Structure 1
Amino acid sequence: MCGRFTQNYTWAQVQAFLKLVGAPLNLQPRYNIAPTTIIDVVRLDPAGQRELVRMRWGLVPGWWSKPLKDVPATFNARAETAAEKPIFRTAFRGRRCLVPASGFYEWTGARGAKVPHLFTAADGSPVLAFAGLWDRWRDKATGEDILSATILVSGATAWMAPYHDRMPVILMPEQFDAWLSGTAGPEMLQPAAETALRKWIVSNRVNMSGQDDDSPSLIEPAA
């Protein structure tokens, strides 16, 4: 599962890692991203080049006929079933994306005393690339076109299992083209190598909405 993550990189960093086209964007660092908010997403433009666009985190399929508030939780899609599940399968066939991330959170402990852990690249890289899907939906009530995306999650590695039984699918640069073009199938959506990530405990303010909940101090190791 990936229910909270961070995007705290510069344009230069994400552009260099993902080989983006287009004018530099003024990216604001975010340290505690929650579902249904707007995130950075990388997709192919009409010329087949990688562009960064902003989308709602929580995929809304183009055929959805009910109000936006009735969309189920679609911020994650299981790697094992996304190609067949009705809410994701159209996007899986033709609308692949990468979701750049600096890290993601998972929790351990009993309810009411949850301890947050931040997972980042083991080599200190400021950008990871999660496999994702995107879609475009027209809100009939407002006439607005809404772009939205989901992050694909696989089973956890043995190293990750004590923290959660799922984890985001992390793609390597040599996999980007095959994923985005649609030539790669579900077989690409494997757990990251055991050595790909590092983690540390962070402040439990990550859990508390409205209490300085998007501060850079959130990603610092807890005392």
Structure 2
Amino acid sequence: MCGRFSQHYTWEQIQAFSQPLTLATGQGNLQPHYNIAPTTNIHMIVPAEGGRELRSARWGLIPFWFKGASPKEFKFATFNARVEDFDQKSSFKSAYKSRRCVIPASGFFEWTGPKTDRTPHYFSAADGDLLAIAGLWERWKSPAGEDVTSCTMVVRDADEWTARYHDRMPSFLQPDDFDTWLSGSAGKELLRKTPPKLQEWVVGKKVNKTGAGDNDPTTIAPDLPRPDTPL
């Protein structure tokens, strides 16, 4: 699964990545986030008139049929949707048919080692570009009239390289796939294509705590041993 990732980019980068945004460069809040956890707001790209739009959405999809009074009452873990069965799950199948998105990611985290001493690893594109994660999004309205936009990442079985660290990974899209994914014309086969080449390094353990270092770029810096630390 993917339970932590980062989004940090300039307007020029996200404008080019989105092919293109209809929102003019320089508008909106692009505060960088280096340790994003579920239930926080993230950026997603959705179709818009004349192009595409960057929107904010809660990471953790709330289905339209939820009867609770607030998002805090929704207790299911819907920040990931498994490619094997999301089209059969009541939380995701409506969004799959008509509300798809692309989630831009600068990188994502996975952990190895025993539960008592987990080692965090950071993964990013080997060429330094942004990663495009396939996503689904939904609108939910509370009984009091509160509108909440939320989303989920699609995840798949890991490729051979990533499986050294975890048995699951995000379902990545290539730039040429954006149109067919967002329009709904592509099926799930698109989400099992060869992923982009990734790079990986160990980072400091402060990322093990939800939200720690979210505004600090050193959160994703390689955790190099001290000179007096045996290798």
Distance of aligned partners of 1:119 and 1:98 in 2 relative to their CA distance in 1, 3 Å threshold: same
Aligned twin of 1:76: 80
Once structures 1 and 2 are overlaid, which stretch shifts more, 58-67 or 91-100?
58-67
Deviations 1:102-152 (A, max 9, x none): 000000000121000000001111x11100000000011x31100000000
Q: Which has the larger radius of gyration?
A: 2
Deviations 1:139-194 (A, max 9, x none): 11x3110000000000001111121111001100100000000000111111543x
Q: How many residues were matched structurally?
A: 219
Aligned twin of 2:203: 202
When normalised by structure 2's length, the TM-score is 0.91
Q: Aligned partners of 1:213, 1:113: CA distance in 2, in Å?
A: 21
What secondary structure sits across from 2:92 in the alignment?
helix
Cα RMSD after superposing both structures = 1.4
What secondary structure sits across from 1:21 in the alignment?
coil
Aligned twin of 1:219: 220
Aligned twin of 1:134: 137
Listed as ranges, the matches of 1:29-178 within 5 Å are 29-45=32-48, 47=49, 49-67=51-69, 68=71, 69-125=73-129, 127-140=130-143, 142-178=144-180
Question: Which amino acid in structure 2 is aligned with residue 107 of structure 1?
Answer: W
Mark the runs of 5 or more structure 1 residues left unpaired by the alignment.
Answer: none
For the 8 Å contact 1:169–1:192, the answer to whether it is kept is: no
For the 8 Å contact 2:37–2:211, the answer to whether it is kept is: no
Which stretches of structure 1, 4 residues or more, deviate above 4 A after TM superposition? none
Distance of aligned partners of 1:70 and 1:7 in 2 relative to their CA distance in 1, 3 Å threshold: same
How many percent of aligned residue pairs carry the same amino acid? 51
Distance of aligned partners of 1:213 and 1:113 in 2 relative to their CA distance in 1, 3 Å threshold: farther
Q: Aligned partners of 1:134, 1:73: CA distance in 2, in Å?
A: 15
For the 8 Å contact 2:35–2:213, the answer to whether it is kept is: no
Once structures 1 and 2 are overlaid, which stretch shifts more, 20-29 or 70-79?
20-29
For the 8 Å contact 2:35–2:211, the answer to whether it is kept is: no
For the 8 Å contact 1:102–1:128, the answer to whether it is kept is: yes
What secondary structure sits across from 2:192 in the alignment?
coil
When normalised by structure 1's length, the TM-score is 0.94
Superposition deviation, residue 65 in structure 1: 1.3
For the 8 Å contact 2:68–2:142, the answer to whether it is kept is: no
For the 8 Å contact 2:10–2:30, the answer to whether it is kept is: yes
Question: Which amino acid in structure 2 is aligned with residue 129 of structure 1?
Answer: A
Question: Which amino acid in structure 1 is aligned with residue 52 of structure 2?
Answer: R
Once structures 1 and 2 are overlaid, which stretch shifts more, 207-216 or 183-192?
207-216
